[in-house]
């Protein structure tokens, strides 16, 4: 998941529901899609940093993967998705409206040279060195999955890999990225949605349904994704 968070366009999850309307953007000639916000309040948790920010005279709550932040700092971002009635279990608090942000920058963000490329669910840091996971009985490698994707769509498969990224409790699901050391040219990372919990760098086996060309909206597009997966013990 480049990213941070993998998000849905219109789904009711355990944590809340997503709305289609986006945060108003700062209209600049350099990048009309960029937001410029000032931090008014910071709440840190183990998974996320919650920021109450001002933008164009309005206050909103945004959330980003846990990072350092301080009051009165200025940040910039592009991609965000609104959630209504999102409940943070860790804070025991429900946000009437909150925007999940893919990433924050302390510098203005340059506009892309061309139209945005759909998000394909790859890890931003790329293929992780040193991973070599032996397949489980009856499992498919990530390289095999991508190579034969047309034959796997809508089918339940078993995948074994090392956890390289985790986003917990987004849209009522945990979003996991697996790599097994196979695959090239970007087809080396599999996004998985599940209710089960895993740990970073843990080698796990999931069984779930493969979806192809999955478009959740807001530029979040997956060529291949495993949904509603369960850990295989």
Does one domain contain both 26 and 92? yes
Let me know if residue 188 belongs to a domain.
yes
Q: How many domains does the chain have?
A: 2
Please give the Cα distance from 2 to 124 (Å, whole number): 4
CB-CB contact of 42 with 72 (8 Å): no
Distance of CA 113 to the CA centre of its chain: 23
Let me know if residue 122 belongs to a domain.
no
Let me know if residue 33 belongs to a domain.
yes
Q: Using pLDDT thresholds of 50, 70 and 90, give the confidence band for residue 49.
A: very high
Does one domain contain both 148 and 97? no
CA distances from 139 to 136, 153, 232 (A): 5, 15, 11
Let me know if residue 108 belongs to a domain.
no
Q: Where does a domain end: 68, 101, 134?
A: 101
Over the stretch 88-129, which tens digit does the pLDDT of each residue have? 889 999 999 998 887 788 888 776 544 333 344 544 457 888
Does one domain contain both 150 and 224? yes
CATH assignment at residue 71: 2.40.50
Q: Using pLDDT thresholds of 50, 70 and 90, give the confidence band for residue 217.
A: low
Let me know if residue 2 belongs to a domain.
no
Least confident interval from 13-22, 79-88, 99-108: 13-22
Least confident interval from 17-26, 134-143, 154-163: 17-26
Let me know if residue 31 belongs to a domain.
yes
Exposure letters 44-72 (e unless 16+ CB within 10 A, then b): eeebbbbbbbebeeeebbbbbbeeebeee
Structure tokens at 131: 């991973």
Q: Using pLDDT thresholds of 50, 70 and 90, give the confidence band for residue 205.
A: very high
CATH assignment at residue 178: 2.40.50.140
CB-CB contact of 42 with 35 (8 Å): no
CB-CB contact of 190 with 177 (8 Å): yes
Let me know if residue 61 belongs to a domain.
yes
Structural domain including 67 reads 17-101
What one-character-per-residue DSSP string does 156-214 give?
EEEEEEEEEEEEEEETTEEEEEEE-S---TTTT-EEEEESS---TT-EEEEEEEEEEEE
Tell me 224's DSSP state.
E
DSSP H or E segment with residue 99 = strand 93-101
Structure tokens at 107: 């510098």
Query: Mean pLDDT score of the chain, rounded to an integer?
Result: 80
List the helix and strand counts (H, then E) for the chain. Answer: 2, 12
**Is pTM beyond 0.95 here?**
no
Q: What angle is formed at CA 4 by the lines to CA 108 and CA 158, rounded to 5 degrees?
A: 155
pLDDT of 53 above 50: yes
Does one domain contain both 169 and 91? no
Does one domain contain both 222 and 148? yes
Let me know if residue 125 belongs to a domain.
no
């Amino acid at each position: 998941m480049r990213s941070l968070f993998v998000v849905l366009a219109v789904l009711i999850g355990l944590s809340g529901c997503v709305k289609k309307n986006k945060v108003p953007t700062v209209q600049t000639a350099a990048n009309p899609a960029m937001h410029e916000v000032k931090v008014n309040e910071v709440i840190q948790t183990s998974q996320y940093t919650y920021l109450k920010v001002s933008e164009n005279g309005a206050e909103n709550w945004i959330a980003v993967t846990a990072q350092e932040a301080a009051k009165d700092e200025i940040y910039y971002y592009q991609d965000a998705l609104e959630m209504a009635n999102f409940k943070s279990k860790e804070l025991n608090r429900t946000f009437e409206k909150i925007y999940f942000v893919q990433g924050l920058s302390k510098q203005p963000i340059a506009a892309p040279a061309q139209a945005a490329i759909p998000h394909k669910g790859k890890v931003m840091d790329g293929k992780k060195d040193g991973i070599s996971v032996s397949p489980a009985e009856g499992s498919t490698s990530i390289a095999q999955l991508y190579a034969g994707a047309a034959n796997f769509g809508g089918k339940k498969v078993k995948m074994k890999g090392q956890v390289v990224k985790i986003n917990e409790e987004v849209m009522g699901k945990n979003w996991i990225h697996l790599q097994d050391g196979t695959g090239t040219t970007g087809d080396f990372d599999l996004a998985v949605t599940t209710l089960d919990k895993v740990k970073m760098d843990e080698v796990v086996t999931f069984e779930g349904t493969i979806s192809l060309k999955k478009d959740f909206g807001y530029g979040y597009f997956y060529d291949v994704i495993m949904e509603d997966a369960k850990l295989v013990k």
